[in-house]
C-alpha cells in the first residue's frame, strides 16, 4: 500500500520479517527483503524511532520485543489478508503520531494533488472534528482516527451518500473482527448497545457540478477506557474494548476497516447507493423506531428505512417523508437502540 499502486506489489516489510518474536539474523532478513545488511540496520533504526522495540545482538541478529501497538503503515499492511487486493484504497498511507485532524491533513494533501486512495492515520488528534463544528474526543494511542481521499465522479449533491458507505464499512469491520453487533444510526453514527463507538465526517471540495475531492474521516473508539472520555460522554460513548471486554489489535482493526471501506466504495462506484441499500438496512437500527428529526418544523414519525439515494424514510402525519439531512433523536430512550 505504501508507495506502490497495489498492495500485491508491496515489498515484504521488515516488520513482517520480524514477526513471531524470535531472533532473525541480519543475513536472513536481508535475503528475505532483497536488501543489504546495512539497509536492514537502517530500517531497524527507522522502526525504533517510530515506537518499535527491536533488540539487536551480535551473533543472534534482531528480535521484535513488543510492538507498542501503533497504527504504522507496516503494521496495517502486515494485517491485510493476502486475498484482499484493494481496488481504490491503495495508499500511500501517511502516519502521524499527533495531528490537529486527519481530515485537515488529508484535505491539504488532496489540494496538493494527492490521488484517490491516499490514507492518513494518526495516533492522536488535538483538534478532532465532528459535524457542524462539534469536536471528536481523540486520546493518544488507544483508538483509530483516519481519513481517506476520494475522487468520485459524482455530483456534489450525492457526496453525503459516502457517509453511509463508510458507516457500512465501520459496522462490518467491527462485526468481522469482534463478536459485537455494531449497528448504524442514520446517517453517521455507529453504535454498540445504544452507545456511540464511531463517527464519520465527510467533507468535500467542489465546483458547481463537479467534485474535486472528498475526505471521508472515520473515528472508531477501540481501546479507550471510560476515563478517556469526558464525564458528559461516559454514558453515551463506548469502545470495542469497553463493550467486548478484550483489547483490540489496532493495526489489525485498521486493516479490516480499510478493506471493508475499499469493498463498499467499489460497490458504490459500480452501482450507486442502491447497490448497498440492503447491506445498510441490515445494519441500521432506526427502522421501525419512532423518531424526531430536527428542522422547521420537526418531523415526527416511524422510520421505514432508507431509499436508494440514502434518504431516511420517516412515516409521519403527512405520510412518508424523505429526510436527506438532520439530527435524528428517538422519541423513546437512547439506550434502547440496538
Interacting residue ranges for ligand BT5, rule: CB under 6 A: 101-103, 125, 128-132, 134, 136-137, 145-147, 188, 196, 199-201, 217-219, 221, 233, 237
Task: Give me the least distance between CB of 202 and ligand BT5, in Å please.
Answer: 9
In the complex with ligand BT5, the residue whose CB is nearer, 146 or 301, is 146
CA distance 273 to 280: 9
**Which residue has its beta carbon closest to ligand BT5?**
199
In the complex with ligand BT5, the residue whose CB is nearer, 177 or 188, is 188
Residue 32, all three cell numbers = 528475505
Task: Give me the least distance between CB of 96 and ligand BT5, in Å please.
Answer: 11
In the complex with ligand BT5, the residue whose CB is nearer, 177 or 221, is 221
Task: Give me the least distance between CB of 224 and ligand BT5, in Å please.
Answer: 7
Contact 316, 322 (CB under 8 A): no
In the complex with ligand BT5, the residue whose CB is nearer, 133 or 318, is 133
CA distance 312 to 299: 11
CA 196 and chain centroid, separation: 14
Task: Give me the least distance between CB of 286 and ligand BT5, in Å please.
Answer: 14
Task: Give me the least distance between CB of 258 and ligand BT5, in Å please.
Answer: 13
In the complex with ligand BT5, the residue whose CB is nearer, 201 or 240, is 201
CA 84 and chain centroid, separation: 17
Specify the 3-state DSSP secondary structure of 176: helix
Task: Give me the least distance between CB of 296 and ligand BT5, in Å please.
Answer: 20
In the complex with ligand BT5, the residue whose CB is nearer, 24 or 228, is 228
In the complex with ligand BT5, the residue whose CB is nearer, 24 or 262, is 262
Pairing of strands 52-57, 61-67: antiparallel
DSSP E strands in the chain: the ranges are: 52-57, 61-67, 93-96, 119-122, 144-150, 183-185, 189-192, 195-206, 211-220, 290-293, 299-306, 312-316, 319-323, 328-330
* Rounded to 5°, angle at Cα 4 from 263 and 102: 65
Task: Give me the least distance between CB of 201 and ligand BT5, in Å please.
Answer: 4
In the complex with ligand BT5, the residue whose CB is nearer, 17 or 200, is 200
**109 phi and psi angles, rounded to 5 deg:** -65, -40
Q: For the purposes of burial, counting CB atoms within 10 Å of the CB of 232, is it exposed (0-12), middle (13-18) or buried (19 or more)? A: exposed
Task: Give me the least distance between CB of 97 and ligand BT5, in Å please.
Answer: 15
Q: What is the DSSP letter of 230?
A: -
CA distance 260 to 84: 10
Amino acid at each position: 500500500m505504501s508507495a506502490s499502486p497495489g498492495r500485491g506489489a508491496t515489498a515484504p516489510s521488515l516488520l513482517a520479517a520480524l514477526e513471531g518474536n524470535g531472533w532473525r539474523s541480519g543475513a536472513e532478513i536481508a535475503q528475505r527483503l532483497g536488501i543489504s545488511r546495512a539497509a536492514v540496520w537502517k530500517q531497524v533504526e527507522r522502526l525504533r524511532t517510530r515506537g518499535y522495540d527491536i533488540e539487536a545482538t551480535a551473533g543472534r541478529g534482531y528480535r521484535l520485543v513488543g510492538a507498542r501497538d501503533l497504527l504504522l503503515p507496516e503494521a496495517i499492511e502486515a494485517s491485510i489478508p493476502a486475498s484482499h487486493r484493494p481496488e481504490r484504497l491503495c495508499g500511500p498511507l501517511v502516519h502521524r503520531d499527533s495531528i490537529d485532524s486527519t481530515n485537515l491533513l488529508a484535505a491539504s494533501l488532496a489540494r496538493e494533488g494527492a490521488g484517490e486512495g491516499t490514507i492518513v492515520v494518526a495516533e492522536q488528534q488535538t483538534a478532532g472534528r465532528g459535524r457542524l463544528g462539534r469536536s471528536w474526543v481523540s486520546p493518544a494511542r488507544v483508538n483509530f482516527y483516519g481519513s481517506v481521499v476520494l475522487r468520485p465522479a459524482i455530483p456534489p449533491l450525492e457526496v453525503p451518500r459516502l457517509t453511509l458507505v463508510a458507516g457500512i464499512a465501520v459496522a462490518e469491520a467491527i462485526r468481522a473482527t469482534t463478536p459485537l453487533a455494531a449497528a448504524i444510526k442514520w446517517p453517521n453514527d455507529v453504535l454498540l448497545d445504544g452507545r456511540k463507538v464511531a463517527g464519520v465526517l465527510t467533507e468535500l471540495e467542489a465546483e458547481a457540478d463537479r467534485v474535486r475531492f472528498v475526505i471521508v474521516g472515520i473515528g472508531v473508539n477501540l481501546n479507550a477506557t471510560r476515563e478517556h472520555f469526558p464525564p458528559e460522554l461516559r454514558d453515551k460513548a463506548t469502545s470495542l474494548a469497553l463493550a467486548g471486554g478484550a483489547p483490540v489489535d489496532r493495526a489489525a482493526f485498521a486493516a479490516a476497516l480499510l478493506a471493508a471501506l475499499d469493498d463498499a466504495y467499489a460497490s458504490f462506484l459500480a452501482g450507486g447507493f442502491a447497490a448497498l441499500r440492503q447491506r445498510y438496512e441490515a445494519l441500521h437500527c432506526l427502522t421501525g423506531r419512532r423518531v424526531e428529526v430536527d428542522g422547521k418544523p420537526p418531523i415526527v414519525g416511524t422510520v421505514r428505512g432508507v431509499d436508494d439515494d440514502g434518504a431516511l424514510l420517516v412515516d409521519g402525519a403527512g405520510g412518508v417523508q424523505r429526510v436527506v439531512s438532520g439530527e435524528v433523536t428517538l422519541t423513546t430512550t437512547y439506550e434502547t437502540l440496538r
